[in-house]
Structure 1
Amino acid sequence: MATILLIEDNKDIRDNTAEILEMANYKVLTASDGKIGVQMAEEAHPDLIVCDITMPVLDGYGVIHLLHKKEHLSNIPFIFLTAKAERADMRKGMDAGADDYITKPFDATDLLNAIECRLKKSALLKKDISTGIDGMQILLSATSGKEALYTLKEERNVNYYKKKQSVYTEGNHPSCLYFIVKGKVKTYRRNEDGKELITAIYKEGDFIGYVPLLENSVYKENADAIEETELAIIPRKDFEELTHSNVQVLQRFVRLLASNIVEKEMQLLNIAYSSLRKKVADALMFITRKYNQSDSEKFSIDISRDNLAAIAGVAKESLIRTLGDFRDEKLITIKDGEIFITDSKRMAGMLN
């Protein structure tokens, strides 16, 4: 049962609205002014807030301003319910960050439909957008009604890439966001000697190329297809419209960015301080975690030795020699070039 916080200073309207919401099977909390409403939001963390604008002590604009300053409350769907019916008032309410704006006197059905819609979109945005083929559709369907985005969801362009084909190159300006429909992609950089270091690998359901879009900068790495790959193309203007119109979507991409930064920091630490054996073991476990999220016992690592060496940050010859040692120690088996980890516990616990 979803919990709704109703902030309304008029007792009759507050009681009648609460009764309607309870009849619709919602748990309802009520507050008689904005200050009390913010305190109750802190304590109860409701699933949605319905709030009047003109109130004593703290008005509706003050409520939404305070909530947006608190990270744990900023994503709660927020609906203004007010007698201010002028277009300028509606624009001000939406600019303040409200998800919807309903004027009094209101139809109960309109209010319930608005609440149901916002709760559904909130639930979609709580899903992990970095996994699953429906990742892009989840984001697009969770936006606030831009027709172009719905068209994009239904009729997106898909580009096809052969193995080793370039997706984008370092130094270029991004023109779109990529979504992996099928296949695998690596991002990498080269040092002055031309040695390649893979900075990340991506799978079906991942977004790539969003960092320079968020930073308004150029690509700082290269991206190539590891195998035959299909990428859905989201034009830059639509990505910017998507993130500008929905704070929650932007925050999800920022969280992805933060997660990738932590992942890359750990990779660099392993390369800098780990032994050869641990570097190779960590690379094998990293790929397994990335591509075998269902924990299948039949999973095999079929990435080329060149790419595997670039992920581990070691020479290809050293990688091959270490894989031979792991095979002799029965940590892995190798069949037709594919690597099967046979003792993941020992591999994960490899010491320097």
Structure 2
Amino acid sequence: MPTILVIEDNLTVRDNLVEILRLAGYDVIVASDGKQGIMMADTLHPDLIICDLSLPIFDGYVVLQILSKNESCCRIPFILLTARAERSDVRMGMNLGADDYITKPFDPSELLSSIECQLKKVESHRHPRLNGMKNIISEIDVHDSNTEDPLKELVRDRNIKIFKNKQIIYQEGNYPSCLYYIVKGKIKTFVVDEDGKDLITELCSEGDFLGYAALLERTRYVDTAEAIGEVELAIIPIEDFEEVLLNDSAMRQRIFKLLTQNIDEKEVQLLKIAYDSLRKKTADALLTVYRKYNITDYRNVGLKFSRGNLAALAGVPKESLARTLAAFRDERLIELRSGIIYIREMDRISQLSK
């Protein structure tokens, strides 16, 4: 029978879970805190993990983060169990790669149904979760130097739509109807936290595809996309995208590999928002803008990025960002001229972001 690891610090809840799971025929192992749970997962390799969100030492988010980076544990189905049912909590867990999110008090039948569903997914491999797709695709070598890039085929001769600065391209909660390709300009994707603050999840620029995650998962958008300045987008109808995926396996694999290459970046960005210090977040936001927009001469080319967008990218209040930038200026790490940021000490900024 499958083995399930239960990571739960509350003795009553833990005993209740163990009883339910054993009556259902599962083998159960238990851990009382996050650190112990990580060690047991790495050593015993259970078939599924049920983890409480509020744990001593390491909480459920940190457990999930660490295990998702562990080659031997990253494909183990992970169910978060918590009394916190706020939308932002659910979104955070799912963005980090959780397979399901069950709130307390839980219905035993709901829990068992979720477990059965996740174990069937692992067994069949018919519907791998998006966060694990990179591991599957990396095992497939479908490169053919004689074949034209399938993404160029998708983009060729498409209708071009122009978006003005701050114009919404797609909205969180809506279903996708097309795939977007950025011909010109910059786009940010963001979520709004419980305090109404924007948190940037991704920066996109010329040559990037946009909105593909919802298409691949057949779900609603989990964030909102907004133009930064004027943007030109090629519009690829969902029918054309799906036709390529269905009718050409080699092309499908290449598209999956190319379109999921930035999944790690988005996961890392969300983790930085949650756990990094203010100075680290600010330094990392500066480097993200620098790297994304391919600034080669950083001493003489400034970062023309609004303070509001920079704060949203760092996941900090605008006032806190301003104070940190002022401190960086006083330390001669950056220079501020006419509102434009110039990085003066790239090595030290890079060290702060680690």
**Which residue of 212, 216, 219 maps to 1:217?**
219
**Which residue of 153, 158, 167 maps to 2:156?**
153
Seen in structure 2, the aligned counterparts of structure 1 residues 311 and 73 have a Cα distance that, compared at 3 Å, is closer
Aligned match of 1:75: 142
For 1:231 and 1:177, how far apart are their aligned partners in 2? 10
**Which residue of 144, 151, 160 maps to 1:139?**
151
Aligned match of 2:322: 320
Name stretches of at least 5 consecutive residues in structure 1 with no aligned partner: 1-68, 78-118, 126-137, 142-148
Mapped pair 1:207 → 2:219? no
| Secondary structure in 2 matching 1:164 | coil
For 1:158 and 1:237, how far apart are their aligned partners in 2? 17
| Secondary structure in 1 matching 2:201 | strand
Q: CA deviation at 1:252?
A: 3.6
Aligned match of 1:120: 146
**Which residue of 335, 346, 349 maps to 1:347?**
349
Q: Contact conserved, 1:292 with 1:299, CA < 8 A, in 2?
A: no
AA of the residue aligned to 1:273:
Y
AA of the residue aligned to 2:261:
S
For 1:140 and 1:288, how far apart are their aligned partners in 2? 27
Q: CA deviation at 1:351?
A: 6.5
AA of the residue aligned to 2:142:
N
Q: CA deviation at 1:76?
A: 5.9
Alignment of 1:38-117 (within 5 A): 75=142
Q: Contact conserved, 1:179 with 1:205, CA < 8 A, in 2?
A: yes
AA of the residue aligned to 2:336:
I
AA of the residue aligned to 2:284:
D
Alignment of 1:171-210 (within 5 A): 171-210=173-212
Which digits, 9 at most, give the CA deviation of each residue in 1:98-134, with x for residues without a partner? xxxxxxxxxxxxxxxxxxxxx521xx44xxxxxxxxx
AA of the residue aligned to 2:330:
D
AA of the residue aligned to 2:256:
V
For 2:273 and 2:221, how far apart are their aligned partners in 1? 23
| Secondary structure in 2 matching 1:197 | strand
For 1:202 and 1:179, how far apart are their aligned partners in 2? 10
For 2:224 and 2:230, how far apart are their aligned partners in 1? 17
Q: CA deviation at 1:195?
A: 1.1
For 1:332 and 1:289, how far apart are their aligned partners in 2? 16
Aligned match of 2:262: 260
Seen in structure 2, the aligned counterparts of structure 1 residues 327 and 178 have a Cα distance that, compared at 3 Å, is same
For 1:311 and 1:303, how far apart are their aligned partners in 2? 11
Seen in structure 2, the aligned counterparts of structure 1 residues 331 and 70 have a Cα distance that, compared at 3 Å, is closer
Aligned match of 1:9: none
AA of the residue aligned to 1:183:
G
AA of the residue aligned to 2:151:
L
| Secondary structure in 1 matching 2:172 | coil
For 2:331 and 2:159, how far apart are their aligned partners in 1? 48
Which digits, 9 at most, give the CA deviation of each residue in 1:9-49, with x for residues without a partner? xxxxxxxxxxxxxxxxxxxxxxxxxxxxxxxxxxxxxxxxx
| Secondary structure in 2 matching 1:213 | helix
AA of the residue aligned to 1:160:
I
Q: Contact conserved, 1:170 with 1:219, CA < 8 A, in 2?
A: yes
Q: CA deviation at 1:211?
A: 0.8
The structure whose Rg is larger is 1
For 1:347 and 1:282, how far apart are their aligned partners in 2? 8
Provide TM-score, normalisation by structure 2.
0.57
Which digits, 9 at most, give the CA deviation of each residue in 1:145-193, with x for residues without a partner? xxxx6xx723x11111111000000111111111111111011111222
Q: Contact conserved, 2:142 with 2:254, CA < 8 A, in 1?
A: no
For 1:209 and 1:158, how far apart are their aligned partners in 2? 16
For 1:224 and 1:310, how far apart are their aligned partners in 2? 13
Over 6 Å off, 4+ runs: none
Provide TM-score, normalisation by structure 1.
0.57
Aligned match of 1:299: 301
Q: CA deviation at 1:330?
A: 1.1
Which digits, 9 at most, give the CA deviation of each residue in 1:212-254, with x for residues without a partner? 1111111111110011111111111111112223334433443
Seen in structure 2, the aligned counterparts of structure 1 residues 73 and 162 have a Cα distance that, compared at 3 Å, is closer
Q: Contact conserved, 1:140 with 1:242, CA < 8 A, in 2?
A: no
